[in-house]
Amino acid sequence: MGLLDGRVALVTGAGRGIGREEALLLAMHGAKLVVNDLGGGFDGSGKDIGPAAEVTAEIKKMGGEAVTNGDSVSDFKGAKRMLECALDNFKSLDIVVNNAGILRDRMLFNMSEDDWDAVLAVHLKGTFAVTRHAAEYWRNKNKETGKPVNGRVINTSSDSGLLGNASQSNYGAAKAAIAAFSGIVDQELRKYGVTVNTIAPVARTRLTVDATPATATLMAKKPGPGEFDVFDPGNIAPLVVWLASDEAKDVHGQVFRVGGRSVWVMQSWHSVGRVKGEGRWDPAALGKALQPELAKVKKETMNDVFSSGL
């Protein structure tokens, strides 16, 4: 018995890397899969259905059920076709894993409008579009049956969005927005029996090796014989499978960083200090009062993540 027997899952960007590993492990635990991937380059250029078809074939080879979908997540109508693909082939949709992504690193003063628009279209609009169509389907299903639909959405953020990373203002802004989007949508959908959670993976992918020089040297290095590969994208999939299962039915609106052997439970914006005046502040007095509170604040960085070990 698998954790997901009889469930139907859609994984976007499932042709390679993290999405591929998520799709394979979901299938190993009994889910039927819609394997979506446009198959473009890491910058969003081109199209190739081949990687998604290979994952579908691999799932079928191990005795699972899967179909391939090559629509773009940034196409609102294409996102609806992904839902229809699940319904046409498996009569249901229970799990959505929004994983598809591209990267166009630029310092802000070198970033073009297209660099900005393309990255936000795939990450933020794509996450919205796929989740929106699933939400409508689940809401209607709940109204028809009067029962919780047991739906799951797992969205993909990034340390770039949670902690920040130079040259990724487009990507980081989209990833931070996805974390906020997920928490809000979880509040909207929980009454129908849906959970929406977010992961921020740390793993070796085209985006972290081919497209990001800052992490390429570290992540491209393969482990020696018998050593645990902390950057293997397969390390991300177990958390996704658990969040998709009945065991996580009460996990709502959470953000998890995951990589290597570790899973971190993250906390969103929250107060770490406060100053309160007698009335309206004098600007200079306000600054003087704030300085001791600011001195207490330690902002975690991506370097802190790597130095702490995965």
Question: pLDDT tens per residue, the chain (310 residues)?
Answer: 799 999 999 999 999 999 999 999 999 999 999 999 999 887 888 899 999 999 999 999 999 999 999 999 999 999 999 999 999 999 999 999 999 999 999 999 999 999 999 999 999 999 999 999 999 999 999 999 999 999 999 999 999 999 998 999 999 999 999 999 999 999 999 999 999 999 999 998 766 655 456 666 666 677 788 899 999 999 999 999 999 999 999 999 999 999 999 999 999 888 889 999 999 999 999 999 999 999 998 888 777 777 777 7
The reported pLDDT for the residue numbered 84 is: 98
Could you give the 3-state DSSP secondary structure of residue 49? coil
Mind listing the domains of the chain with CATH numbers? 8-270 (3.40.50.720)
Q: What is the DSSP string of 87-144?
A: HHHHS---EEEE-------B-GGG--HHHHHHHHIIIIIHHHHHHHHHHHHHHHHHHH
Give CA–CA dist 131/161, Å, rounded: 20
Q: Active-site residues: which are they? A: 158, 171, 175
Nearest Cα residue to 162 out of 252, 235, 239, 264: 264
pTM of the model: 0.93
> Of all helices (H) and strands (E), which one includes residue 194?
strand 194-201
Three-class DSSP category at 282: coil
